[in-house]
Amino acid sequence: MSRSVWLSVVVVVLFSAATLVAEISGGNALTLPAQRHMVRVVHPDGAESLFLALQQGGSGPGLRFYRSDDRGGSWHYEASIQPDATHRDTADLLTWDRDVALVYSYEGPSLSGSSRHDVYFQWWRYDAAARTLRPSTPVRVFDATSNNEAYYRAELVRDSLDRIWVQAFHLRSDGRHIAELRVSTDGGQTFSARTPLADLPNRGGGRLLSLDGSLLFLYDAHQTPGPAWFRTRRDTDPIDAWSAPVQAFADGVYHGSALSAARAGNGRFHLAYQSKAEETLWYRFFDGTAFGPRQQLDGSSDWALQTATAAAGSDAVIFYNHVQSSGFDYDIDVRMVHGGVLDTPVLLDDQNLFKGYPATLEQVPPTWTQLPCVFGFTPDADSSGEARAVFGQALTSSPPDAGTPPDAGTPPDAGTSLTFDVSVVNKSYRFQAVARDGTALALNLTDSRTRLYASTDGARTWAPRVNHTSAFTMISTLSDGTLIADVTANGSHFLSRSGDTGRTWQDVQNIGTRRMLTPHSVADLDGTAFFAEYQTDTNSDTPINLWASADQGRTWTIRFTFQGHRHAHGLRADAQHHALWVYFGDSTAQSGIYRSTDGGRTWTKLLGGQPGDVVDAVVTADGLVFGQDISNLPDLPSAATLSSSGAYVVRARLPGPAYSSFGLSTGGYVVGTAHEPGGDVYAPGDVSAHVVVSPDGITWKDQLQFPQATSTDYVRADIYWELPTGELVLQLYNALGFGPGGMGYELLVPRRR
């Protein structure tokens, strides 16, 4: 298939500058290439973090976790895995829900016997309060008991029966290299030895993969002529049952470990590797039974060429280093595999230095439009320098094949039915926020609004947290955990700040009669917090300010003043594209959705009129998903999408104007609608607020209904928060059967049917 045929299917996002990750003591910081060094963890609120296991070497750092909270745009040191830099360990990672399991073992340019060359398994458990990973005590899986032996190049997988398999090579005292195998049936507490998988004359390498109910072990050896081999087993087979060795392909794998693999579903996977004799890069596809014909990934020949492969549905993204004609300088390139065919190479970085051992995620997250690749950037393979990240990714139209195991936290396949079970009904409190550590904050409906209550058990029980001098109306949570509240005192509204989860507050900015409309009237982007004003003094056009704070809400200045509007309904930040979105209502002329890519200094209108009358929206890889705040004919409220280029698509009719739009951390969307007195867009006899859900942002279903308590006020059902438990907080107002003012909340447990 020619490139011109499928340019509409595949788009490459190219960034001209690489991003610094960390300093490294050698260009091979991310070897072993066959290991998975990078994983993605999805937090309960849907935010994402990447964790990279990087061997920095040197006199102190050793093996460390680096973390990115903006999809690879910036990185910071998170935690030490193995701090002894005199023993060069590298790690293989896998995610298990929000936890990460890993093994670490020796890897270096030379290998000899050492009693230090052991293999350790370790859990890094997710800490919801701190939104990070916490290490458990390492468990030694393989023990080199003397200086005449060594274990090296360990990898791990999880099978469909939740057993943990660890494979490592064993240099024995007789010089043979044995592919050893151990398995844990108790979650990694203990490991039992199994029958070895291979006996090699030289240093071994390969990849152990878990493939939809089976395991596959691909392997080869250093400086050993001949093919690569593989063995397989079904998860339901007896514990030591493996197939006999089968020839994988005749050209073999350089050093046995110069490869990267990514699962493609249905027992299949993508393989990119360096061949032995030619020392060039190739691609093959394993179809569940055998490896297909090879396609040349890169024609240059050099010992240092390596790949990093990610699956994108049934397609693949392959990063690799290309040696220039001088033989000393390298590029980082990327190629896409679509429909089994390699696309044209795209250059990502051509700065003239050594570039080695790229690493990326094994699976492209479904909503991402760019993918980071981390590599070593040094004068040569043995000199110190930097680990850097570049970005490129295919957007493919081919979804994951049936049977592909989803990563924890990724959105469900389109068409999955999304429903809710109710776990808690509370008629005494009105929600205000969910803090970064998972603490819920609320007001007691029978107490003063100056008194804030907190819950640390998932909104089951509440206790007083603070008695403020001002009355709370709305609270927003910044990404660093800072709370920004709209409070009232002496007839004025103030922005109030708390840096300790609501225990103490300081009123920092008088905003007069302007106020927040929802918790999403505040957002933060690239270290700056923003607040967009809502006002009710006049129905006419009036200047509306966008406030900005560069010090976590301590001080505020006006960044931009909008003209021609009545009030800002809210704003959202798109960290991936460094963009802000803001929406206005309510008249046709005053409504609109705007986007800024320079920190709110200039704005582009992307959608106006009643279609642009939006209170809340969810940021996606392509733009926004939202419900419209339309309550009067001839226009009708709908669920819709808007791309960053302005492509507007109506997806489904809504039963009423939408006041909240929310994206679940596990995938899918929910819109809360209201019934406003005087509106005429409702079905005959309908006087309810509704909760409308979608598994994919395209198909929508009316899921829950809440009749109004009184006909003189609007009834609302809003979802703005998700608890660390994964439960959604459904906030109700003027709903029949609830507390004072028809207020209270329900906790909803998402279910896939």
pLDDT 10s digits, 708-740: 999 999 999 999 999 988 899 999 999 999 999
Please report, for the chain, the start and end positions of each structural domain, with discontinuous segments joined by +: 3-391, 411-427+613-753
Q: Are 668 and 696 in contact (CB under 8 A)?
A: yes
pLDDT at 14: 36
Per-residue pLDDT reduced to its tens digit, 377-406: 988 888 889 999 998 854 433 333 323 323
pLDDT at 44: 83
According to DSSP, the residues that pair with 598 across neighbouring strands are none
Segment 703-709 long-range contacts (CB within 8 Å, at least 24 positions apart): 703/418, 703/419, 703/420, 703/670, 704/420, 704/730, 706/732, 706/735, 706/736, 707/735, 707/736, 708/675, 708/734, 708/735, 708/736, 708/742, 709/734, 709/735, 709/736, 709/737, 709/738, 709/741, 709/742
Q: How confident is the model at residue 349 (pLDDT cuts 50, 70, 90)?
A: confident
Q: What is the mean pLDDT of residues 78-96?
A: 95
Helices (H) and strands (E) in the chain, counts: 0, 58
Asked if the model's pLDDT at residue 16 lies above 60, the reply is: no
Report how far apart, in Å, the C-alpha atoms of 84 and of each of 72, 80, 88, 93 are: 26, 10, 8, 19
Which class is domain 3-391?
mainly beta
Q: Among 192-206, 302-316, 358-372, name the most confident range.
A: 192-206
Mark out the alpha helices in 54-110 (DSSP H runs).
none
DSSP calls for 452-521: EEEESSSSSS-EEEEE-SSEEEEEEE-TTS-EEEEEEETTEEEEEEESSTTSS-EEEEEEET-B-SSGGG
Q: How confident is the model at residue 18 (pLDDT cuts 50, 70, 90)?
A: confident
pLDDT at 477: 96
Find the distance separating the first CA and the last CA of the chain, reported in whole Å: 38
Asked if the model's pLDDT at residue 66 lies above 90, the reply is: yes
CA 372 to chain centre: 12
- Of 192, 171, 167, nearest in space to 181 by CA: 167
Asked if the model's pLDDT at residue 366 lies above 90, the reply is: no
Mean pLDDT of all residues belonging to the chain: 90
Please state, in angstroms and rounded to a whole number, the distance separating the CA atoms of residues 589 and 316: 46
Q: Which amino acid is at 648?
A: Y
Q: Are 203 and 255 in contact (CB under 8 A)?
A: yes
pLDDT at 396: 39
On whether the pTM is more than 0.95, the answer is: no
Lowest-confidence range among 47-61, 211-225, 270-284, 565-579?
A: 47-61
Residue scoring higher pLDDT (484 or 377): 484
Asked if the model's pLDDT at residue 662 lies above 90, the reply is: yes
Asked if the model's pLDDT at residue 3 lies above 50, the reply is: no
pLDDT at 401: 35
Report how far apart, in Å, the C-alpha atoms of 306 and of each of 79, 285, 363, 385 are: 27, 17, 18, 18
pLDDT at 15: 36
**Cα three-residue angle 365-524-550, rounded to 5 degrees:** 140
Asked if the model's pLDDT at residue 410 lies above 80, the reply is: no
In percent, the amount of the chain with pLDDT more than 70 equals 94
Asked if the model's pLDDT at residue 130 lies above 80, the reply is: yes
Q: How confident is the model at residue 166 (pLDDT cuts 50, 70, 90)?
A: very high
Per-residue pLDDT reduced to its tens digit, 558-603: 999 999 999 999 999 998 899 999 999 999 999 999 999 999 999 9
Q: What is the mean pLDDT of residues 419-442?
A: 93
pLDDT at 328: 73
pLDDT at 326: 66
In percent, the amount of the chain with pLDDT more than 90 equals 75
Q: What is the mean pLDDT of residues 598-626?
A: 94
